Amino acid sequence: MVTLALTDSELRQRAWDAAATVVDPEIPVLSIADLGVLREVSVKDGRVEVAITPTYSGCPAMTMITLEIELALERVGIPDADVRTVLAPAWTTDWMSEEGRQKLKAYGIAPPLPASGRRALFGAQKVACPQCGSVDTEVLSEFGSTSCKALWRCKSCREPFDYFKCH
Amino acid sequence: MASASIQIGDDPLFLCALRRADDALILGHRLSEWCGHAPMLEEDMALANIALDLLGQARELYSYAAKVEGRGNDEDRLAYLRDERQYRNLLLLEQPNGDFARTMVRQLFYSAFADPYWRAMMNSSDPTLAAIAAKSEKESAYHLRHSSEWIIRLGDGTAESHRRAQEAIEHLWAFTGEMFEADAGERGLIDAGIAIDPASLREQWQSTVSAVLTEATLTQPTNPWMQQGGRGGRHSEHLGHLLAELQYTQRAFPGLTW
Ligand SMILES: [Zn+2]
């Protein structure tokens, strides 16, 4: 094992920077830091602890994300980190960074609207098409290719697109 | 030895978490049976997505129940090693999928309850239950909207879709009363602010269901007789068949892992 002559805060920063490079396996343009899934990195008695939070209860990516964090930390000389999943406070799309929203849009996925919109039983949401920007769009299915996405269609450019659901 | 069936205890907090875990697992399993069989691709994905949400909720709840119980069980042992009499889910949720209308009516009846239930449970004085509730509440809002829209489309659709939706309502109605029950053990948790009284949600449930059925031009049955038993471990014949499929691998190959 590599012995690091680092202060706790340097170690913490090194661990955060490494963990923040891990991407969501289902939306590889977003890092777990962009998503707000990476909650906290701390150092206790010289040992790194990483706290992550699931986007959805059944998110199948969490196991892979945990593994990727362990590997990323190992590559920067931190082989025995403790990666924990925390449930509270519950993840919300409002935690997604502005940079993350721009990356999503550039990738062709409409970024989430503010989470307050989800409570309307028969919602009249205005989602802009990530291709042409038109808001003349309609939902095809609330449940898309992954837990976090819905399937929409643009009536202006006729292209279907994914919408990252507000949550 | 790992395949020996588990007998559950009677700690109220354990049972409270277990009941909700069983609800989520059993309904999630039923929905997963549609995978590859739904009427259209979008719906196949939707049902699998909802099943996945429920499975995620079940896992958190089982893990917590096992921790509360403190007998060395875990989420897998609780799910795979209990016989039907040890299950505490609502009878409604183990009823077979039937046609698409029956699956959607079952979902509406449950989601119209689960959505306000989890919202209220976010205020539980038990931090783990409150945290699980905060995630489940977000998910159940989508499940409720999805099933509501389908019931309206089916009820206000063709004569055939209307007939099937109405038939499903008549068939499942008697299973809805059980949602609002709480036994003596759970009463103690309600008094302590750990659980909420499911009976307090009846009015809201009724108003959601009425609004959807009215818009769908469907009729709510007036028969007040309600079936019960699931919360006490007395199930319909369907649960045993479901568990045979769900548990087969762990029973045949005890302790098998991926
Ligand atoms: Zn467009």
**For A97-131, what is each residue's pLDDT tens digit?**
999 999 999 999 999 887 655 555 445 578 999 99
Q: Is there a single domain that holds both residue A76 and residue A104?
A: no
Q: Work out the pLDDT band at B89, boundaries 50, 70, 90.
A: very high
Question: Of the residues A31, A60, A91, which one is the last residue of a structural domain?
Answer: A91
- Is B135 within 8 Å of A87 when comparing Cβ atoms? yes
User: What mean pLDDT do residues B217-232 have?
Assistant: 95
Average pLDDT over residues B137-153: 95
Distance between CA atoms of A165 and A147, rounded to whole angstroms? 9
For residue B47, the model assigns a pLDDT of 97
Q: Are A160 and A132 in contact (CB under 8 A)?
A: no
Final residue before a domain boundary, out of A33, A59, A91? A91
Confidence of residue B1 (pLDDT cuts 50, 70, 90): very low
Percent of chain B at pLDDT above 90?
96
* Residue pairs between chains A and B whose CB atoms are closer than 8 Å: 82
Under an 8 A CB cutoff, do B130 and A88 touch? yes
Of A62, A91, A120, which marks where a domain is finished?
Answer: A91
H-only helix segments in B70-158: 75-80, 91-94, 100-121, 127-155
**pTM listed for this prediction:** 0.91
User: Mean of the pLDDT values across residues B208-222?
Assistant: 98
Pick the CATH number of B12-220+227-252 from 3.40.50.300, 1.20.1260.10, 3.50.50.60, 3.20.20.70: 1.20.1260.10
In a domain, A3, yes or no: no
Reported residue count of chain A is: 167
Q: Is the predicted pLDDT of residue A1 greater than 60, yes or no?
A: no
* pLDDT tens by residue, A42-96: 999 989 999 999 988 888 888 899 999 999 999 999 999 999 999 888 898 889 9
Question: Tokens representing B183?
Answer: 């036994």
* Residues, Cβ < 5 Å to ion ligand 1: A 129, 131-132, 134, 154, 156-157
Contact B136 A57 (CB under 8 A): yes
Closest CA to B165 of B175, B146, B152: B152
Q: What confidence tens digit (pLDDT) does each residue in B171-180 have? A: 999 999 999 9
**B interface with A, Cβ–Cβ below 8 Å:** 42-43, 45-46, 48-50, 52-57, 59-60, 127-128, 130-132, 134-136, 138-139, 141-142, 144-146, 148-149, 208
More confident residue, B120 or A143: B120
Per-residue model confidence (pLDDT) at position A121: 45
Q: Which site among B45, B60, B118, B122 would you substitute to test the A interface, given the most A Cβ atoms closer than 10 Å to its Cβ?
A: B45
Write out the H or E segment, with its range, that includes residue A140.
strand A137-141
In the prediction, which pLDDT does A116 show? 57
Partner-chain contact B60 A143, CB within 8 Å: no
Residue ranges making up the domain that contains A64: 8-91
Residue A76 resides in a domain: yes
